[in-house]
Chain A
Amino acid sequence: MRNIILAVALVVVITAGATFWLARQPCSWSGVDETVVEKYAEAAGRPARKPYINTDQGDLLLFCFLIAGAAGGFVSGYCFRELFPPKKGDNP
C-alpha cells in the first residue's frame, strides 16, 4: 500500500509539474493531423470533411472519450487480472 501511495504521489507531482510547464509554452499544441496531414491535404485541394458521425460538438467528444477510456481501462484491467493473478503474498 505504501508503494502505491508513493507511486501516486510521484505521478501527481510529475504530471502537475509537466502540465504547468507545458501550459506556459507559447505553442498551440495542435496535433500533427492539423500541422501536417490537413496542411498538405488543403494545399492539394483535398481538405478534410466533417466525420459522418460528428461527435466533435461541445462536450460530446469529451463524453465519448471518457466512455472509451473507461471501457478500455475496464477491459485491460479485467484481462490483466486474468493473465497476471496476484501472487500468494500479495494483499487483495
Chain B
Amino acid sequence: MNIKKSIFIFLLMPLALPSTAQAMHISEGILPTQWALLWYAVAIPFVAWGLRDLRIKSAREPFFKPMVGLIGAAVFVISCMPIPVPMAGSCSHPCGTGMASILIGPAMTVLVSSIALLLQALFLSHGGLTTLGGNIVSMGIVGSLAGWSIFRLTRRLGLPAWGSAFLAGMLSDWATYAATSLELASALHGTGSMPKLLTAIGISFLPTQLPLGIFEGIVTAGVYCFIAARRPSLLECLGVERKRCACELCECEPKTGGVQ
C-alpha cells in the first residue's frame, strides 16, 4: 500500500466515527406548512431525475453503482459530521455535494443527498421530516448544481483540475448555506424585511462557514487528485475528463461531453 493511499484512507477515517448531531440542517417544525410543502414540490422532480439517471447509467456502466455507493456513503457521513471551527467557537459540517456532483453528476447527487437526509431525519435526530424538502433543496439541489457548474465552467476556462475541484467544493458549501439562509428568511420574516433577515442570517453563518468552505474545497481537491492519480480511467468513464475511454471497468462509448 503506497503512501498516497494510506493518507487518503486516514483522511476518511474520521467519517466512521460517531458524533453528536450539530449542524445546519433545518430542524423539525421550523418551516411553516406551506413553505415545507413548497420545498417538497421543488425537490421531488429533481429526485425523480436522479432515479432516472441511476437507471440509465447503471445499465450502461457496471462500475457506476459501486461509485454511487461510495459517494453516497461519503455524503451521508460527511453531512452529519460536526467540525469545530476555533475562530467561531461553534461547530458545523461540510456537505460533500460539491465532490459528489463532480464525480457522479448533479442528478445522482440530489438522489444520494435525499437518501442521506432522510436517514438522518429518521434515525439521527438531524434535520426533520417536515423540513426534508427544504434540506434537499439547499444541500442536494443547490449544492450539487453549484459544484457541478463551477467545476465545468472553470475547467473550460482552463483552470487545472485540482483548482476547479477546490473552487467547486468551496463554493458549493457556501451556496448550500446561502440557500438555507434564503429558505429561513423567506419563511420566517413575517411582517419584517425579508432581505434584512436574509442578510442577518447569512452574516451569522459566515464565521463558521468561511473556513469550513475552504476546508471542503481542500478535501474535494484532494479526493479528485487521488482518483486522478490512482485510477484516471474512472474520471474518463464518468465523463469528468474528455479522453478516449479504454479502461477495463466499463464498456462505455468515448465521451464527447466532458471537459479537458
Contacts and interface: CB of A to CB of B under 8 A. Distances in A.
Interface of A: 1, 3-4, 7-8, 10-11, 22, 25, 27-41, 43-56, 61-62, 64-66, 68-73, 75-76, 78-80, 82-84, 86, 90-91
A89 to B, nearest CB: 9
A23 B13 CA distance: 21
Interface stretch (B26-34, B52-60, B146-154, B160-168): B26-34
28 contacts: A1-B1, A3-B3, A4-B6, A7-B6, A7-B10, A22-B86, A27-B90, A30-B22, A32-B90, A32-B205, A36-B201, A37-B30, A38-B27, A43-B188, A47-B29, A48-B29, A49-B29, A55-B124, A68-B18, A68-B76, A69-B18, A70-B16, A71-B73, A72-B73, A72-B74, A72-B76, A84-B230, A90-B2
Interface residues of B, number: 70
Given A37-B27, A41-B184, A65-B20, A11 B89 contact: no
B108 interface: no
A40 B190 CA distance: 12
Contacts of A7: 3, 6-7, 10
A45 B192 CA distance: 13
Interface stretch (B39-47, B77-85, B213-221, B251-259): B77-85
Main secondary structure of the interface of A (DSSP, over half): helix
A32 B92 CA distance: 6
Contacts, number: 194
Interface string B189-205: 11000000100110011
Minimum-distance CB pairs A-B, first 10: A31-B22, A49-B29, A27-B89, A73-B16, A48-B27, A65-B18, A44-B188, A79-B70, A76-B73, A79-B69
Interface of B: 1-3, 5-7, 10, 12-13, 15-32, 63, 66-67, 69-70, 72-74, 76-77, 80, 82, 84, 86, 89-92, 119, 121-125, 128-129, 180, 184, 187-190, 197, 200-201, 204-205, 208-209, 230-231, 234, 249
Given A33-B25, A41-B27, 20 more contacts: A1-B1, A10-B10, A27-B90, A32-B24, A35-B204, A38-B30, A39-B204, A44-B190, A46-B188, A50-B28, A53-B125, A55-B123, A56-B21, A68-B124, A69-B17, A73-B15, A76-B73, A79-B67, A84-B5, A90-B1
